[in-house]
Homo-oligomer: A and B are copies of this chain.
């Protein structure tokens, strides 16, 4: 059987192919030379399986899509507080005014506009590092998201330098307000090199999947940045990634995203997928016309939207069985299932708190549970602790080890078994 997903992606591209609105960016000769008909999409599962359609292996310069990743590196290297002191997180509203800083703080409003991205560039790597070292950190860091070493397109880089007036303006202004401390033209030169890294649409999907996967590159398995950094980056992409229409993007697409002037769009839906799209013609906001359409289709067809939660986890507590053992012993075994986060663990706690007394033993059957996050783990262990202190013998049935090393505190550790078995009969003194 062939997977229907590539066919589906082919169909999505076919549906958008006739839309020739917009224009290729022409402020840089090398960009203006892009084939306007290029069209590609790639979707990566959070385990790194990639589905592709169109010119998904063609290389183009990453441009502004480098911004969230360099922001991520800055957060990783300097810490959230230090980065927030230099760059805000608010949508900027007007594209035209993109040189402006927040009144009062004199910070760039967010890292997704050039003024913030130039600042983020200077915050990658350790403080005071030479520019060569910082640039290598950036190339290596973005490459780690992609899972392969990326190269600079030197021709585009040279071409962009010739028309870098606005970025030079921004960098000098940042220097004037002491937001950056480096020599302004050098920062611009390196930033342009950053933007000239070559990626494919497939790369974008894998880079996005790394974000969707909590910072772990799904193919290499490398934890590129921490979950906390990913959360911050995805949050900022949500409100600031698609320029001056945050609300419109969140309501209609609902996928944290970033676009670039080459016509690429990258989207990452936490826990679900990474998406890459390419089509060089841009709308007046600077977003790829067909790229936006593809994202809207994927969101609508596939239910990929931040607000489209999984069906409520009400069945985390699947039920209970009463077992009768030797010597009139009885056990109540609670059966759990699914992915346990707060909501699921709450079901467990709720169910146990309301079950009738009278059973010697309590079993928690985790056989059908496939993952337990940290708050759910804490809640299960607290439940174990309380039940034990209430005089119950507690057993975890956990054949796959989803709750490893179950130390409930106060010296309480439940028995762990693969399938139910009666424990030793309680001695007279227990």
Contact = CB atoms under 8 A, between A and B. Distances in A.
A90 B4 contact: no
Interface stretch (A53-61, A194-202, A298-306): A298-306
Interface stretch (A125-133, A134-142, A161-169): A161-169
Contact of A309 (B88, B91, B270): B270
Interface string A223-263: 00001001110111011100001111011001010000000
B353 A1 contact: yes
Which of A271, A312, A383 lies at the interface centre, i.e. has the most chain B CB atoms within 10 A of its CB?
A312
Contact of A247 (B1, B91, B383): B91
A119 B90 CA distance: 26
A353 B169 contact: no
Contacts of A96: 103
Interface bracket on A: 35 or more
Contacts of A346: 5, 45, 49, 51, 273
Which of A236, A273, A370, A373 lies at the interface centre, i.e. has the most chain B CB atoms within 10 A of its CB?
A370
B273 A349 contact: no
Contacts of A212: 309, 312
B303 A375 contact: yes
Nearest to A370: B315
Contacts of A310: 271, 310, 339, 341, 371, 373
Contacts of A232: 251
B248 A89 contact: yes
Nearest to A352: B1
A293 interface: no
Nearest to A46: B312
Contact of A169 (B170, B273, B339, B374): B170
A396 to B, nearest CB: 16
Nearest to A88: B247
A43 to B, nearest CB: 8
Contact of A176 (B165, B235, B370): B165
B45 A309 contact: no
A214 interface: yes
A234 B307 contact: yes
A116 B54 CA distance: 43
A3 interface: yes
B238 A312 contact: no
Contacts of A375: 301-303
A247 B110 CA distance: 9
A152 interface: no
Interface in A293-323: 301-315, 318
Interface in A314-366: 314-315, 318, 337-339, 341-343, 346-347, 349-350, 352-353
Nearest to A379: B4
Interface string A35-68: 0000000000111010100000000000000000
Contact of A302 (B166, B248, B342): B342
Nearest to A315: B370
A2 B389 CA distance: 11
Q: Which 3 residue pairs spanning A and B have beta carbons closest together? A: A271-B309, A165-B176, A270-B309
7 contacts: A45-B343, A110-B247, A168-B169, A240-B247, A272-B341, A273-B343, A311-B372
